[in-house]
Amino acid sequence: MKSMTGYGRAKETVGKFTITAELRAVNHRYLDCTVKAPRQYGFLEEAVKKAASARIARGKVEVYIGVEVEEAADLAVTVNNAVAEHYLTALRGLAARYDLTDDITVMGLASLPEVLGAERVEQDAAELTAAALTVFETAAAHFDEMRAREGEKLAGDVRSRCAAIEQMVGVVEERSPERVREYREKLLARMQEVLKDTAIDETRILTEAAIYADKTAVDEETVRLRSHLNQLDLMLGETAAVGRKLDFLVQEMNREANTIGSKANDVALARTVVDIKSEIEKIREQIQNIE
């Protein structure tokens, strides 16, 4: 399991290219990936974005690709033969007309304006893309290492909060029968006070207590809440992206806690439910960081 927050960087020389790849990511509901490369190498952006999307499920991800080309490797020197021939014709004409020594040399001719030219050679897109992806994968591996370390910490924190919730669910389960007994005793005391010497119908007391117990029973909710806690623990051990599934599961846990709270009708249980909901909210905040 990985956090959505991470950073990774790599710089390598591949052939005649020295490439820098840098990734950084923060939390985001979905995957939002942007790639930046030097303008002349803009064709790299789509390939790198595709590679990033294949290994990152969620987060706002920014990728930077820098490219340095080996000195003079992208330069080509060209000869303007038409200009050179014009110069040669003119120079030989001068030598013949004025009876001069024909001492034309290559260096002399090459030094004349516009005979030689230098221009940038367009790099092989496929070669450069392959090199950039190689360095990107190295940076992404560092990026994932950091996210995995963060994910491990998040999982530990969430597990400790789940353990606390499970303990409080046990308190709710222990307290629930006590509420029914107390209700029956209070009901009996009130009827004795009102009816005084009149015989009390014990069956009626038991019926009222049973109705109360049925209306305030939270057994189903606590069973489901325990089931959700178990599922959450299993998800925390997965290697796939589970952030969205965890988010849904925590919503279900909160729903069960709300139902227990609405049925509680008891001060002590109400306090416990508030504590359960507080832990669930802290878990919800933590899983917003999980991929």
Q: In 10 A of CB 243, how many CB atoms? A: 23
The model's pLDDT over 193-225, given as tens digits with 9 standing for 90+, comes to 555 655 555 666 566 555 555 555 677 888 899
239-283 pLDDT per residue, tens: 888 999 999 999 999 999 998 887 777 778 888 999 999 999 999
Looking at residue 73, what DSSP letter applies?
Answer: T
Residue scoring higher pLDDT (77 or 106): 106
Domain ranges of the chain: 6-72+124-147, 75-120, 149-287
Residue 264: other Cβ atoms inside 10 A: 20
- CA distances 162 to 108, 173, 187, 228, 259, Å, are 85, 16, 37, 10, 18
pLDDT at 265: 72
Q: What is the CATH number of domain 6-72+124-147?
A: 3.30.230.70
